[in-house]
Amino acid sequence: MDAQNKQDWMTIRRDNTSSALERAYAEGLTGLTVASRKGKRITLKEGGTFTEFVSCSYLGLETHPSLIEAAHQALGTTGLHLSSSRSAMRPVYLPQLESLLSEIYNGCGISVFTSTSSVHLGVLPLLGSNSLKSYPIRKRVHWLMDKTAHASMQVLRGILQQFGEVSRVQSTDPESISSVLGICAERQETPILLIDGIGSMSGLVPIAQLCSRLEQAGGYVYVDDAHGISITGRHGAGYALAAVDNQLPRNMVIAGSLSKAFGGAGGFVVVSDPQDVPLIQTLANPLVFGHSIMVPMLAANVAAAKIHLSNEIDILQNHLWHNVRLFDSLTHNRLLNAGVQSPVRGAFFETEGDGLKACRILRANGILMFPVFYPIIAKGKAMLRFAFSAAHTENDIQQLADSLSEVAHAGLWKTHMAPA
Ligand X SMILES: Cc1ncc(COP(=O)(O)O)c(C=O)c1O
Under the rule (CB under 6 A), what is the footprint of ligand X?
115-117, 150, 152, 196, 200, 224, 226-227, 257, 259, 267
Exposed/middle/buried for residue 311 (C-beta within 10 Å: 0-12, 13-18, 19+): exposed
Sign of CA dihedral 45, 46, 48, 50: negative
Among 304, 344, 397, 233, residue whose Cα is nearest residue 63? 304
Residue 293 CB, nearest distance to ligand X (Å)?
11
Please identify, using beta-carbon distances, which residue of 91 and 197 lies nearer to ligand X: 197
**Which is closer to ligand X, CB of 152 or CB of 403?**
152
Nearest to 253 by CA among 276, 235, 230: 276
- Could you say which DSSP state residue 85 is in? -
Classify residue 387 as exposed, middle or buried by CB count within 10 Å of its CB (0-12, 13-18, 19+): buried
Exposed (0-12), middle (13-18) or buried (19+): which is 138, by Cβ within 10 Å? Answer: middle
Is the CB of residue 320 less than 8 Å from the CB of residue 389?
A: yes
CB 291 to ligand X: min, Å: 14
Q: Quick one: 57 or 117, whose CB is closer to ligand X?
A: 117
Minimum distance, C-beta of residue 382 to ligand X, in the bound complex (Å) = 19
Please report how close the Cβ of residue 322 comes to ligand X at its closest, in angstroms. 24
Q: Which is nearer to ligand X, 228 or 354 (CB)?
A: 228
Torsion of CA 203, 209, 215, 216, to 10 degrees: -130
Cβ nearer to ligand X, comparing 51 with 152: 152
What is the C-alpha separation between 173 and 219, in angstroms, rounded?
A: 18
Q: 138 or 291: whose CB is closer to ligand X?
A: 291
- As measured in angstroms, the least distance from the Cβ of 133 to ligand X is 26
* Least separation in angstroms between CB 113 and ligand X: 8
